[in-house]
Amino acid sequence: MVWTAGSLAVLLVVGSVTSWAFLEHLLNSITKINVFGGLDHRPGGGVQGDLNILLVGSDSRAGLSKSQQQQLHVGHNPGQRSDTMILLHIPRGGGRAVLVSLPRDSYVQIPKHKDATGHVVPAQMNKLNAAYSFGGPNLTVRTIEANTHVRIDHYVEVNFLGFVNMVNALGGVTVCTPTPIHDPVHFDPSTGGNVGSGLELPAGRTQLNGTRALEYVRAREFDPSADLGRIQRQQKFMSAMVQRAKSAGILLNPVRLYNVIGAVGKSLTTDKNFGIKQIKDLASNLRSMSPANVQMLTVPLKPGSINTGVGNVVQWDPVKSRRLFHDLTADIPLNKPAKGGVPKVTIAPGSISLEVLNSTSKNGFAAQVGTDLARLGFHVARTGNSPSGSDAKTTVVRYGPGRADSAKTVAASIPGAKLQLDQGFGNGLQLLVGADYNGTQRVRVVQSGQNGTIGSPRTADQDICS
């Protein structure tokens, strides 16, 4: 379900383990299942040495007492379901990772299969999460492989308790919301059950424990964009969780590392082949990975939703989604411009006025950069020195809530520049030049909604308020 947002942090922690004792402790606590048994007509394996892991969240109440179920507002429904799934791709050689969220309401073809009574069910169009309800992990993998043509190498599933324990073992995770969230639990007569996460959150930054974090990644009733808005919040939560796992000293502290692994191990389910060798390979790929090289995005969708016999659904964009999954299989970096191509933006440089401030000790650097930007058509309102200091390594585009599209144009014009949203900056737009500045590049203006094959992936190092 939606708490797959913590799965990447789980894998980052697991991937940092070098002690055999830790690995054995983890493996002994994990539930192993035969996920890939009987699968046929599978897609090719892509680039030799790459890795595709399907991350799934289960709404299993296993390990939760009745009082805990009540506290977490998760009810006591029997059986298991899955809402949101994430495809994790690690290219050959590691160093970076791509996480693609697959909305639960995706309208996809579920392959022919046998139901619980042994009767054959013909292939049918349905919501993606129905595959898990109909045939568990096995049919889920078959469905995703059939619709993406990406071969799944491993399967990792996390339940309610695992997510809560993981967040608590990390010491909590900080999230950020531009407006207050009010998502009370209430009775829904159409379903005969309760809906709503119970989340009450003020605007700004808030540190959440495991219980409140579960409410945060499950909340959707308050949001008109429903599941798609929730996916965006999940991706921000993934960023926050990865940053927490990397910065809290956990990976260098044997006691804390052991506690994290112990907290989540019993709540993990994997394919039966996910053993010592696979964990060592994962460790090799993830140990030195920077959050800046972890990209998160949602499979490209057609605009809006449609109503079908199975309810409201969203449809994958047939061209963009096919290109995305092709690029993953071929280990092609996302949104890499074609040879001779230029980045695509929606606001022309000539329509943008900004300040350029020098955050290094190099004299006259702001004026030099201002001249470079003026050649591209930008209007440089002022140059000067940054009040924040003169030792910044990274070039940052600081912008207020009303200047997001303009900021993207500035960042696209300066290779390596990072975006930084400042909620209190109004309509302000500043370029804070760091030591990594190495010139500008041309950009191409396109209509909104056409800037790139798959949109702009979020990276795990981005400010959680952006």
DSSP string, 205-229: EEEE-HHHHHHHHH--TT-TTHHHH
**Is there a domain that residue 29 lies in?**
yes
Amino acid at 187: F
Give how far Cα 44 sits from Cα of 65, 341, 398, 433, Å: 44, 30, 44, 45
Q: Which residue from 448, 1, 457, 31 is spatially nearest to 232, judged by alpha carbons?
A: 457
pLDDT at residue 319, rounded to an integer = 85
- Spatial neighbors of 414 by CB under 8 A, at least 6 apart, are 395, 397, 431, 437, 439, 440, 441
Residues 137, 247, single domain; the answer is: yes
The CA distance from 96 to 109, in Å, is 31
Residues 45 and 105 both lie in one domain: yes
- Give me the pLDDT at residue 382, please: 93
Last residue of a domain, one of 300, 329, 358: 329
Residue 179 forms part of a structural domain: yes
Residue with tokens 């790929």: 285
Instruction: Return the pLDDT at 330.
Output: 87
Place of tokens 């409140």: 212
Task: Give the domain-ending residue among 329, 354, 382.
Answer: 329
What whole-number distance in Å separates Cα of residue 292 and Cα of residue 457? 11
Classify residue 281 by burial, with Cβ atoms within 10 Å: 0-12, 13-18, 19+.
middle
With H, G, I as helix, E, B as strand and everything else as coil, classify residue 122: coil
State how far Cα 143 lies from the chain centre.
21
pLDDT at 116: 83
| CB of 101 closer than 8 Å to CB of 231 | yes
Q: What is the pTM of this model?
A: 0.71
What per-residue confidence (pLDDT) applies to 48? Answer: 84
Phi-psi region of 282 (alpha: psi -120 to 50; beta: other; left: phi over 0): alpha
Please give the Cα distance from 289 to 292 (Å, whole number): 8
Measured CA to CA, the distance from residue 270 to residue 95 in angstroms comes to 23
Asked whether residue 339 is assigned to any structural domain, the reply reads: no
Could you tell me if residue 466 is inside a domain? Answer: no
CB of 348 closer than 8 Å to CB of 409: yes
Residue 229 resides in a domain: yes
**Same domain assignment for residues 358 and 308:** no
Cβ 39 vs Cβ 275: under 8 Å: no
355 and 263 together in one domain: no
- Give the rounded distance of the alpha carbon of 438 from its chain centre: 29
Domain total in the chain: 2
213 in any annotated domain: yes
The pLDDT score that the predictor gives to residue 12 is 55
- Report the length, in residues, of the chain: 466
Q: What is the DSSP string of 378-403?
A: -EEEEEEE-TT-S---S-EEEE-GGG
* Domain of residue 395, residue span: 344-459
Q: Are 440 and 373 in contact (CB under 8 A)?
A: yes
- The Cα 278–Cα 273 span in angstroms is 8
Q: Which residues of the chain are under the pLDDT cut of 50?
A: 1-5, 76, 338-339, 448-454
Q: What is the DSSP letter of 351?
A: G
Euclidean distance between CA atoms 284 and 271, whole angstroms: 20
Q: For helices 7-15 and 276-286, give the axis angle rounded to 10 degrees.
A: 100
Domain match, 15 and 83 both:
yes
Do 437 and 393 lie in one domain? The reply is: yes
Q: Is residue 207 part of a domain?
A: yes
In order of 213, 245, 291, 358, the CA distances from 238 in angstroms are 11, 10, 10, 32
State the CATH number of the domain containing residue 214: 3.40.630.190
Residues 196, 119 within the same domain:
yes
Q: Assess whether 64 and 183 both reside in one domain.
A: yes
Closest alpha carbon to 144 in 109, 116, 97: 109
Question: Is 336 inside a domain boundary?
Answer: no
102 and 150 inside one domain: yes
Q: Residue 222 and residue 200: Cα distance in Å, rounded?
A: 11
Compute and round to an integer the Cα radius of gyration of the chain.
23
CB 445 within 8 A of CB 348: yes
Q: Are residues 319 and 441 in the same domain?
A: no
C-beta separation of 111 from 146 below 8 A: yes
Q: What are the pLDDT digits (tens) for 219-273? A: 777 776 666 777 888 888 888 887 777 676 665 566 666 666 666 677 788 899 9
Q: Tell whether 222 and 284 lie within a shared domain.
A: yes
CB contact at 8 A, 228 and 235: no
pLDDT at residue number 28: 76
- Of 329, 358, 390, the one marking the end of a domain is 329
pLDDT at 62: 53
Point out which residues pair with 31 in neighbouring strands.
269
- Both 313 and 445 in one domain: the answer is no
Of the candidates 313, 317, 270, 278, the residue with the CA atom closest to the CA atom of residue 298? 317
Of 374, 356, 375, give the one whose Cα is nearest residue 366. Answer: 356
Single-letter amino acid, residue 34? N
